[in-house]
Amino acid sequence: MNLLIRSPAKINLFLRVTGRRPDGYHDLFSLMCRVGLYDEIALSLSPGPITLWCSDPSLPADETNLAFRAARCFCEAVGRREGCDIRLVKRIPIAAGLGGGSSNAASVLMGLNRLHGEPMSRERLMRIGRSLGADVPFFIFESPALASGIGDELVAFPGMIPGKALIVCPPFHVSTRMVYQNLNLQLTNHEKRPTRTHFIKTAFDPSHHLHNDLETVTLALHPELVRIKGLLKTQGATGVLMSGSGPSIFGLFPDEDALRRAGAELARERELKVFAVDLLAGPVSLFRGVGPAADRENRR
């Protein structure tokens, strides 16, 4: 059986950097939510080695790719000698603060688990994901989440409500390492921000919760992002923020009509990639089987 998997992007609705660890990583506190912008993965088992094809030739198709590494880690964990075939169609912009690579790795782990009859619990898959990257467990968690540690310690966030967002991606990448290297921790920690207890007791409110410690650094390195934020605000966004270390900027919109009008206006900026998405506040079906066995399963 083959599986077709939708591999979603994410945005950070809140991100605070709380400290630097001895290993060089940073501790953070973040509210993350998956959004309806998807890569597509066709996944099947094979008797031969692990193979990966990607629609974007700029991405490696070997063990340096997170999706490939995820497949290898899964096969080693379950003691399987056979491999798999991964065909990845990229739609999530690369190195844009949207978690595309981590999502791909999580999708491969969950897909292989399903193809093998689900020998692993979600908790074990998340442990494997943690070895691949800080954001991978979040995509296996499959819920809006409050993240702490390096982003891999997750608590479900019950106050997320469905909404619409417009994601705008400029035509350049941002080095996450450079952003963190230029972050002034003394300045960010001086400002009082909402705590986990606050978030758990309240519903998400853009007027109070939208914040990203990394935004000031990235905007200083790339001042053109300030103009993109201004465009989204002019088009009626109820809140505008950079996701992760950037450079993607998103605007939250109150309804479909406002989102559509803003998307049409931003699309005139030819150098920008613009995506209208839903905030995935609840469970979403990401898997679809292909073949006779899958047809029987899908009809249930």
Residues belonging to the active site: 10, 135
Q: Of 168, 164, 139, whose CA–CA distance to 154 is shortest? A: 139
Terminal-to-terminal C-alpha distance of the chain: 17
Which residues, 6+ apart, have CB-to-CB distance to 111 below 8 Å?
3, 5, 41, 43, 287
Q: What is the DSSP code string of the chain?
A: -EEEEEEEEEEEEEEEEEEE-TTS-EEEEEEEEEEEEEEEEEEEEESS--EEEES-TTS--STTSHHHHHHHHHHHHHT---EEEEEEE--SPTTSSS-HHHHHHHHHHHHHHHHTT--S-HHHHHHHHHHH-TTHHHHHHTS-EEEETTTTEEEE-TT---EEEEEEE-SS---HHHHHHT--HHHHHHS----HHHHHHS---HHHH-EETTHHHHHHH-THHHHHHHHHHHTT-SEEEE-TTSS-EEEEESSHHHHHHHHHHHTTSTTSEEEEEEE--S----EEEESHHHHHHHT-
